[in-house]
Amino acid sequence: MKSEPDPDAQNLEPNAQSPETVSQPPFTEETALQFFVRHLDEMKWKYHRYPEKSGLYSIFNGDNVQWNLNLYAREMSSGHFLLGVNSLIPNKTPGERRVAIAELLTRINYELSVGCFELDLADGEIRSRTSLVVPGADITPGIVEELLRSNIYIVIERFQQIMAVMYGGVMPQEAIKPKEEKVEAKHEPRFDFN
């Protein structure tokens, strides 16, 4: 007796794909880095690629300061990528001010909800780092824009404090205080209880 082929059975020949499985190209470090490339292109920023790694180099020109930016994408594990932006403060901390700068950066980091400042105690280099680990499929233009924007904002907001401690002899706890401390207004009662 001859059996008829089952119409519901799938043809599972070697190297054959089922119709439901559509092969997508693998998400790579280069794919992730392209989100940064497109964002910088849209902003018309000049940048250079690091030939040996998945990263970009650019320069930010602020009102009173210019600094180097590194943008990178690294595969961490099973499709998860570390996206990051590092801003390198252009001035290296003199040896005699490194302890004060380390204290200042610790105080700043305590206040930050995103990113951090880091100090290389060997050479005095300071950098601001914002980074995020995210599945490749979840990377969006908005994520890379916010990583870059928040990094730049943090440096702009804190640059004068860093310079005051580095070169002005200001103590870290003084540099971190708000420029104008709010004085509580004393209100006179509108009426008096006898």
CATH number of the domain enclosing 119 = 3.30.1460.70
Q: Is residue 7 part of a domain?
A: no
pLDDT of residue 18 exceeding 70: no
pLDDT for 192 equals 45
Q: Is residue 2 part of a domain?
A: no
Q: Is residue 41 part of a domain?
A: yes
Q: Is residue 24 part of a domain?
A: no
CA–CA gap between residue 157 and residue 163 (Å, rounded):
12
One-letter amino acid identity for 63? D
pLDDT of residue 118 exceeding 80: yes
pLDDT of residue 12 exceeding 80: no
Q: Is residue 4 part of a domain?
A: no
What is the number of structural domains in the chain? Answer: 1
pLDDT tens-digit map of 52-110: 878 999 999 988 889 999 999 999 988 899 999 999 999 999 999 999 999 999 999 99
Q: Is residue 131 part of a domain?
A: yes
CB-based contact 35:141 (threshold 8 Å): yes
How far apart, in Å, are the Cα atoms of 114 and each of 35, 88, 163, 166? 20, 17, 21, 23
pLDDT of residue 182 exceeding 80: no
Q: Which domain holds residue 160?
A: 29-175
Q: Is residue 119 part of a domain?
A: yes
Please report, in angstroms and rounded to a whole number, the separation of the first and last CA atoms in the chain.
112
B/e letters for 154-177, b = 16+ CB within 10 Å, e = fewer, are bbbebbebbbbbbeeebebeebbe
Q: Is residue 73 part of a domain?
A: yes
CA–CA gap between residue 14 and residue 12 (Å, rounded):
6
